[in-house]
Chains A and B, each alone.
Chain A
C-alpha cells in the first residue's frame, strides 16, 4: 500500500491505496464521487476527464498515486453554493446530452477549453478541441452549442470561474 494525499474538490484527502489504483477508481470507489465515469477505459472516450492541477486529464490513465500532492476537481466540485456552473447550466439549457454518460467528461473538458482558448469559441474550435470526448448518442450538435454558450456564461460569472 502507498499513502496518497491530495485535494479533491477543495477537501484534503489522505488514503492508503494499492499503487495500481487508477485515479478514477479512487474517486469513484474510495471517495464515492461517481459523477466521473469510466467509458472505454482505454484513454479514448473522455468520460473520465477530471482536472488535475487545473488541467483536463483522463483519470482512467492516471494512477491515484501520481496525483499525490495535487489538486483534483471533478464534476461534483464545480457547482458553487447550489448554483450550477455556467457550463453545466449551458448543457441543461441547450440539451447538450441524451443519455448523459459522456456529460461529466464533456463539461470538464469544455471548462478546460474555455480556460485555454477564452470565452468566444467558434464551432470549428470546439469540435477540434472535443476530439478526446466521445458521445455515442451522437449528440455533438447540441454539445457544441452548449459549449459555446457555456463559454460566454463563464465570462459573465468571473467569481465562479475563479473559484473553480
Chain B
C-alpha cells in the first residue's frame, strides 16, 4: 500500500532512463512511452479512488537539518496526479505523429517527457516542503533541456529570458523554504502556519512564494517568458508544460501558500486579487492584437491564470473551488488548443494567421474540436469554462469586490472576441495558398484533441459531477485559512445558483431554431457571377479576407492603444527594464574596473588591506 506512492515517481523515471540508454529504435520507445503513460493513467485513477495514503520513506539528514521524505496522497494531490497523467497519456499519443521530436533529431525527447512526469508527481505527492522544492527545481532543469530541443530558431535571448524569470522564481522559492525552516524548525506542510503580520521577513517570505507560483503559472508581472518561449519551443512541449502542467504546479503552490502555509492579511489578499484581475484584462488585450497563433494562445494562457488567482485569493470555499476547477478546465482546453495549433502547424507549416484560412474542408474534426475548446475558454455556457468562471465570480462577489468582477467578465467577453478571430482566420475566410496542399491530420493527432474537447463538454454539461467528485471531498479543514461556508452537495451555493442541465436544454433548443433558420435560408437559390471590368474578366489574385486585422482598431484608441503598442514592443517587460536600465550599467562599470593594468590591481589590494587593518585595529 505504502509503496504505491512511489510508483508515479519511480516508474516514469526508470522508463525515461530506459529510453535514454536504448539508442535508435524509435517506434519501440514510443510504444514503451505510451504503455507507461497508459499504465500511469490507470494507476492515477486507482490512486484517486483509494482513501488517503501516507508513507514515510527516508530522511535527508544534513547535521541539524532534517527533512523526511514523506509522500502523501490526499484527495487534492491524487486529483492533480490523475490529471497530470491524463495529459501525459494524451500527449504521448499525440507526439507519435507530431514532427517535434523527429526534428529534435535524437532520443532525448521522450526521456525528458517522462522525467517531467516523474518530477511533477513528486511535487504533488511530497508532504514536505523541502522535497517539493527539490522536485520543483528538477522540473525547471528538465524544462531547460526540453526547450533546447527546438532547433535553430530559438534565439539565445528568449531562452535566457525564460530561465532568468524561472530561475529568479526558483531562487525566491528557495529563500521562502529556508525562511520557513529557520522560523518553524519543520518543513512538514501540515505543521506550518506563519502569520504575515508578524514581521517584515515574514512578508518577504510570503511574496517569495507568491512570486515562485505566479512565475510558474505565468501571471503578471512575471509572465513575459511564455509568449517569448512560445515562438520557439516545440509546440507539443508548449501544450504539455506551460499550458497544462505549469498551471497545475503554479496554482498548487499558490493555493498552498495562500491557504495553508501563511495566514494572509486582507491587504495581501487584495493585492493578489488585483494581480489576478490585471492579468486577465491586460493579457487578453495583448492576445487581441496578435497575429501568430502560438503567441496568441500563449497570451490566453496568461489571461486564464488570472481567474484562478482571483478565485483562490478570495479565500472563500466557492472561490477556491472555482479557482481550482478553472485550473483543471484551463489545462484541458488550453492544451487542447495548443495541440490544435500543433496539428495546423504540422500540416500547413505555419501558425501565422495571415497565411492561414479555409481549413474547414481539410480538417473538419479538428475544426469541431477547436470550436468547442474555443467556446470553453471563452466561458460560453454550458461548457466547463463557464462553470468555473461562474464560481470564481461568486467568490469575488462574496468578498465584495465588484470591480474585479466587472474586469473578469469583460476579459471573458474579449476572450470570445479573440477566438472568433482565430476560428474565422484559420478555418474560414477563403482558402489561402499556403493550405492548398494540406492533408488531413493523422487520427493519432486528432483523437487526443477530440478527447479533450469531449472532456470540456462533459465537465460543462454535467458540472455537478466533477465538482461533487473532485472538489467537494477536499478536506478544507486542512486549509486553515479558508472561510468556511456551509456547503451543499450540488452547485447551489449561497447565492450562486446555476443549473447546467436546464441551461443546456435551453441552448440546444436555441441551436435547433438557428439551424431551422439556416435551412430556410438555403431554400432560396443564388448564383455566382464573374466580375468584368471594361469587357475584361477581372481576377482577384487572392479572394479572401483574413481576420488578422479584426481588432487592430483598438491599437488606435487613446491611452490603451499606446499602452498596448509599447507593451507589445516589450517596454513594460520587467526583464527588459531591469536589464537595460540598471543591469548593463552595473556590469559595464565592473568590467571597466577590470582594466588589466597591474597598478590598478595593486591599488585595490592596498586599499583592501588598509580597510582590513583599520577594521581589525578599531575594535
Chains A and B belong together in one complex: no
Question: B residues engaging A (CB < 8 A)?
Answer: none
